[in-house]
Amino acid sequence: MRRVRPRERCIKHYKPWTTTVLVRGRIVATIRIGEGWEALVAALLRADAPERVYVVGATDSGKTMLCRYIVDETAPRMSTAYVDCDTGQSRIGPPTTEGMLLYPGSPEPPGLPYLRFIGSTSPGGHFIQTLTGAKRLVEKAAELGAGTTVIDSPGLVSGGVGAEFQFQMIDLLHPTRLVVLQRGRELERLLANFSRRPAMTVHRIPVSSAAVARTAVERRRYREERLKAYFADARLQEVPLSGLGLQGRVPDLKNPRGAARRLVSLNDPESFTLALGIAGEVHPQGRVLEVVAPPFDPAAIASVRFGSIYLDLAAEPGHVESCRP
């Protein structure tokens, strides 16, 4: 699965509160530096051991903006991994995936991303897959020698379910620094679980005034645009299922149309995504699966994971993805 890998560098303005991201010499984003951001980066640059930074906050609290700032500041000086766990508004892979990019600590661009298919655009109903995917990506970053790993967490923080989900994520991933974006004290219940944990520093950072709220319609539009872009060069291909592992919400493969329009992931032996596909017919007797997908090597596939959403790329805007066939 090919990705465009632009060269990136970060240039600071004379004004200390902004930083500009350049891609191939063109300005693509200006990040407004929030309170506490520079001190956090300074601490990471002084560290004499690998750091793992978990950034948590509600939807539209500026998590991704802060994570991008940390990566842009640390990557030129050390190997830095960015782990994106937001499957709805994903920045590394297409929606429904968690992703990891490793920046090698030099002017060279990052390598190809590692992706884990969760099968949905929300952690709800997919907690185990979200936790496992995040864990495997963080482990892969460590295996590849990341000096700093920055984890951009899902925006599910509200209520008992959100607090428990975030507790399990943090407890599993063992960050050395827990960065909490709050507008008030809404995450203090969560933080109480880690206030006395050794080898973990908690950073309370106010939500930046530059954080932009997006509507549900805007979020859906973003997902649809990303999915359509991903499948722009897709074509119909066949996947022989004999000998492959089957994961997720596996349909009745004896029904030729049992998997139709289901989003699936074609995985390598470590269950990292090689390519996403939109399932078509199954034939004969469940031994071959038709998929519409970007080009891939069928010989490299070790398993197929079936997601819980259906795609119709020809549908009207707002109706591309659904939970029903």
275: CATH: 2.40.30
* Span between the terminal Cα atoms of the chain, in Å: 26
Phi, psi of 181 (to 5 degrees): -95, 115
Q: Clarify whether residues 48 and 83 are in a common domain.
A: yes
Token pair in block for residue 157: 């923080």
CB atoms within 10 A of CB 70: 23
39-68 pLDDT tens trace:
999 999 999 999 999 999 988 888 999 999
Q: How confident is the model at residue 100 (pLDDT cuts 50, 70, 90)?
A: very high
- CATH code assigned at 59: 3.40.50.300
Is the pLDDT at 25 greater than 70? The verdict is no
CA–CA separation, 43 and 101 (whole Å): 22
Instruction: Quote the Cα angle for 24-28-31, to 5°.
Output: 125
Greater model confidence, 206 or 83: 83
Average pLDDT over every residue of 171-189: 93
95 and 224 fall within a common domain: no
Quote the Cα angle for 61-227-5, to 5°: 80
Sequence-distant (6+) residues with CB within 8 A of 177 are 40, 43, 44, 51, 52, 53, 54, 200, 201, 202, 203
pLDDT (average), residues 311-321: 92
Question: Is 89 found in the same domain as 45?
Answer: yes
Q: Which two tokens stand for residue 165?
A: 């989900």
Same domain, yes or no, for 113 and 173? Answer: yes
What are the Cα distances from residue 55, in Å, to 37, 181, 229, 324? 12, 8, 28, 33
Give the predicted TM-score (pTM) of the model: 0.88
Burial of 154 (0-12, 13-18, 19+ CB in 10 A): buried
pLDDT tens figures, 188-236: 999 999 988 989 999 999 887 777 788 999 999 999 999 999 999 999 9
Of 186, 206, 226, the position where a domain reaches its end is 206
3 domain residue, yes or no: no
219 phi and psi, to 5 degrees?
-65, -40
- Alpha-carbon distance of 136 to 134, in angstroms, equals 6
For the chain, the domain total comes to 2
Q: In degrees to the nearest 10, what's the CA dihedral of 197, 203, 165, 101? A: -110
Residue 242 has pLDDT above 70, yes or no: yes
The whole domain housing 245 covers 218-322
Within-domain flag for 1: no
Residue 212 resides in a domain: no
Pair (183, 69) in one structural domain: yes
- 103, 110 contact by CB (below 8 A): yes
Shared domain check, 138 and 40 = yes
Q: Mean pLDDT, to the nearest integer, of 262-275? A: 97
192 and 227 assigned to the same domain: no
DSSP symbol at 118: -
* In a shared domain, residues 109 and 16: yes
- How many residues does the structure list for the chain? 325
76 and 147 co-located in one domain: yes
Q: List Cα–Cα distances, 293 to 54, 226, 253, 271, 276, in angstroms.
A: 33, 14, 19, 17, 6
